[in-house]
Structure 1
Amino acid sequence: MNTYFIGDIHGYYNEFISLLKKINFNYQNDILWITGDLIARGPDSIKILYFLYSIKKSIKLVLGNHDLYLIFLILNPKNHNINDKKILNLLKDKKIVFIVNTWLKYQPLVQYDKNKKILMSHAGIPPQWDNIETILSASDEAKNIISGKNNNFFLNYINNEKYQINDWKKNTLFGFNRFNYILNALTKMRYCYLDGTLELFTKKAPNNLNSKILKPWFWIPNILYNQYTIFFGHWSDLQGGNYTTKNIIGLDTGCCWGNKLTIYSWEKKQFYSINCII
């Protein structure tokens, strides 16, 4: 069995399938970890969801911010004044609604392999979480809210994106503020202040940012960053691993911006990429 990791797919079905063929992915034996953001931006989000649902036993998935938005729209089917035809087509597709309601909304925000010492989330692991129990518990809390009947925290989070909790406060948060921080940390984080609190608006690559008060989250000290290999997506300006340490691996290489879609082989410690056409 081979283990692979892929960055944000964003609806680029043809490139995704070509990349799986390039690595000779074996659907019976291999496992593909996916950093989230399956949909949006690209041309074939419907095909991506159909296909991933059909091979769900061969993948380990975390939800990204675009996936969460789709789940929100399907769980809360009111008039959202959506002008994006790609999103509208997803919402009109009965099979997509079924896939979201029976599978996608139950996916976690963190994937973990104890034996291989691997962690994966869409945006990374925040500096303020320095033990594995906190991380897994937070992921479970969020999943239970998103997939549960009492999901008002989730609906309110999407509806109030300007209200951002950025400090874990040593695990003293509760209620909506706690849920808000968990989703911000695992699906939106890029930079942090020097004390480890989140800064949720800056997207530039580190070499384009002149700041004495912000650092990429993985430059803030955290013992877990040395104990685990951490995979993440979300930050296409990094162009993969140009700024990270060897055991923190960024896989969003900007497919949806006309760059590349990238897969990493755990066994071979090798990257494979394919150009994307926009």
Structure 2
Amino acid sequence: MTTYFIGDIHGYYNEFISLLKKIHFNNKNDQLWITGDLISRGPDSKKVLFYLYSIRKSIKLVLGNHDLYLISLSLGFINKNINDPIILKLLKDIKIQFIINSWLKYQPLIQYDKNKKILMSHAGITPQWTNIKTILSASKEAQNIISGKKNKFFFDYIDNEKYQINDWKKNTLIGFQRFSFIINAFTKMRYCYPNGTLEMLTKKAPNDINSIILKPWFNFSNILYKKYTIFFGHWSDLQGVKYTPKNIICLDTGCCWGNKLTIFTWETKKIYSITCKI
């Protein structure tokens, strides 16, 4: 069995399938880890969801911010700023609704392999979490809410910008605020302030910002960053592994911006890519 890791697919089905053929992926023998953001921006989000659902026993994925947005809208969540025709079209498909309700909303925010010492989330691992038990517990808490009966109330809360929580406060948060921080840390984080709290606005690469305060989350000191290999997506401006430490691997290489979709092979440490058309 070969273990592969792929970055944000964003609905680029043809390129996704071409890349799987390039590496000779066999869903009966191999395993594919996915950093989230399966849908949106690309032309074939529906095909991506159909295919991944068909091979669901062979994949390990985490939810990204675009996936959470799709789930929230499927609950009947009303947002006056909805301007993504791709997601609106998906929501009208009964089969997609089935995939969301029976499978997608039950997916975690973290994937963990104890033996291989691997962690994967959409945005990374916040400097404020230095214990693996905290990370797994936080993911489970959020997963239970996302798939639970009161999920709409929580999505209503975190969509409001004034309720964006960026400080874990040493594990003292409760309720909506706790859920908000967990979602922000796992799916939206890029930079942090010197004390480790999240900065939620800046997206550019480290060399392209004029700040002596902000640091990428992976440039902080955290025992987990040395103990595990960490895979994440979400931050296409990083241009893959250009800015990250050796064992922290960004796999979002900007497929939805006319750049590449990228796969990393665990056993050989080789990287394969394919250019996406926009």
Same topology, TM > 0.5: yes
Cα deviation, 1:113-136, whole Å, max 9, x if unaligned, reads 000000000000000000100000
Q: CA deviation at 1:154?
A: 2.7
Cα distance in 1 for partners of 2:154, 2:45 equals 23
Tell me which residue corresponds to 1:243.
243
Q: TM-score, normalised by structure 2?
A: 0.97
Return the letter of the residue paired with 1:107.
Q
Q: CA deviation at 1:75?
A: 1.3
Please state whether the residue corresponding to 1:170 is helix, strand or coil: helix
Tell me which residue corresponds to 2:212.
212
Cα deviation, 1:207-259, whole Å, max 9, x if unaligned, reads 11121110000001100000000000000000101011110000000000000
Q: How does 1:151-162 map to 2 (within 5 A)?
A: 151-162=151-162
Tell me which residue corresponds to 2:53.
53
Any stretches of 5+ residues in structure 1 without a counterpart?
none
Cα distance in 1 for partners of 2:241, 2:271 equals 10
Tell me which residue corresponds to 1:185.
185
Return the letter of the residue paired with 1:29.
N
Tell me which residue corresponds to 1:171.
171
Tell me which residue corresponds to 2:28.
28
Cα deviation, 1:178-214, whole Å, max 9, x if unaligned, reads 1000000000000001111100100010011121110
Return the letter of the residue paired with 1:253.
T
Q: CA deviation at 1:151?
A: 1.6
Cα distance in 2 for partners of 1:185, 1:162 equals 16
Aligned-residue CA RMSD in angstroms? Answer: 1.2
1:194 aligns with 2:189: no
Cα distance in 1 for partners of 2:67, 2:74 equals 11
Tell me the number of residue pairs that the alignment of Structure 1 and Structure 2 aligns: 278
Cα distance in 2 for partners of 1:75, 1:34 equals 24
Q: How does 1:1-278 map to 2 (within 5 A)?
A: 1-76=1-76, 78=78, 82-278=82-278
Q: TM-score, normalised by structure 1?
A: 0.97
Q: CA deviation at 1:159?
A: 3.0
Cα distance in 1 for partners of 2:173, 2:78 equals 30
Cα distance in 1 for partners of 2:246, 2:9 equals 23
Q: CA deviation at 1:83?
A: 4.0
Cα distance in 2 for partners of 1:193, 1:176 equals 23
Any stretches of 5+ residues in structure 2 without a counterpart?
none
CA contact (8 A) 1:145 1:153 kept: no
Q: CA deviation at 1:108?
A: 0.2
